[in-house]
């Protein structure tokens, strides 16, 4: 199995390291040809607007094609924004693929970064989670399964082989969420 990490910007190395610790072969993806023989893709946290601009052209089209085709993808934080079907203040999704609506940077400046422990369905009740200027999920469609909530708000969800988290599992030493994604592929 080989899992790609979208390498345009953001927490790329940390995801590569987490997958490596699980013994999964990885490849940093920056071009369309780098998708060859990949089994899944992680879209890291960073800046969703910057990533969408850097992906303009063929790469964006290929990412859209793959997400529409049900290719296994895991978006964390900005990656979740890329995969959301609706983004507050935008007419179109960036890639789309999971039936949720998100608002960017909705947690406000004072609490814009924090660490907590979450109960995640199918994983455990003590999963560490780092939130950094996290997107806020404002709607969850009927075919989306919410796997974790924080203060009542969905922070991790799945639809088919698409997984999203508004936090950063790659910034902790806990590998369970990456293992869960690899298990979905």
Q: Which residues bind ligand GLN (CB under 6 A)?
A: 45-48, 77-78, 81, 104-105, 132-133
We find the least distance from the C-beta atom of residue 159 to ligand GLN, in angstroms, to be 20
Q: Among this protein's residues, is 178 annotated catalytic?
A: no
* 39/96 with CB nearer ligand GLN: 96
**DSSP state, residue 114:** E
Structure tokens at 147: 């796997």
We find the least distance from the C-beta atom of residue 174 to ligand GLN, in angstroms, to be 18
What is the number of alpha carbons within 13 Å of residue 146 lying toward its C-beta?
Answer: 17
Mind spelling out the 3-state secondary structure of 24-82? Answer: CEEEEECCHHHHCCCCEEEECCCCHHHHHHHCCCHHHHHHHHHHHCCCCEEEECHHHHH
Q: Among this protein's residues, is 77 annotated catalytic?
A: yes
* 4/135 with CB nearer ligand GLN: 135
82, containing H or E segment: helix 78-83
Q: Among this protein's residues, is 62 annotated catalytic?
A: no
We find the least distance from the C-beta atom of residue 91 to ligand GLN, in angstroms, to be 17
Instruction: State the virtual CA torsion across 172, 174, 179, 180 in degrees, nearest 10.
Output: -90
* 2/28 with CB nearer ligand GLN: 28
From the candidates 15, 62, 150, 168, give the one annotated as an active-site residue: 168
Identify whether the C-beta of residue 167 lies closer than 8 Å to the C-beta of residue 76: yes
* 77/156 with CB nearer ligand GLN: 77
Burial group, residue 180, by CB count within 10 angstroms (0-12, 13-18, 19+): buried
We find the least distance from the C-beta atom of residue 52 to ligand GLN, in angstroms, to be 9
For the annotated catalytic residues, the residue numbers are 77, 168, 170
């Amino acid at each position: 199995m080989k899992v790609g990490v979208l390498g345009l910007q953001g927490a790329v190395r940390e995801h590569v390291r987490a997958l490596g610790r699980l013994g999964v072969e990885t490849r940093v993806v920056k071009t369309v040809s780098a998708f060859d023989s990949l089994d899944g893709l992680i879209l890291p946290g960073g800046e969703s607007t910057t990533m969408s601009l850097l992906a303009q052209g063929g790469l964006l089209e290929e990412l859209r094609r793959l997400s529409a085709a049900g290719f296994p993808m895991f978006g964390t934080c900005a990656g979740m924004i890329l995969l959301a079907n609706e983004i507050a203040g935008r007419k179109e999704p960036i890639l789309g693929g999971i039936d949720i609506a998100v608002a960017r940077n909705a947690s406000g400046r004072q609490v814009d970064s924090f660490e907590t422990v979450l109960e995640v369905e199918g994983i455990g009740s003590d999963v560490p989670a780092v939130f950094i200027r996290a997107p806020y999920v404002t709607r969850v469609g009927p075919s989306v399964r919410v796997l974790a909530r924080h203060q009542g708000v969905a922070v991790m969800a799945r639809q088919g082989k698409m997984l999203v988290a508004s936090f950063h599992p790659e910034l902790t030493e806990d590998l369970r969420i990456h293992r869960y994604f690899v298990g979905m592929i």
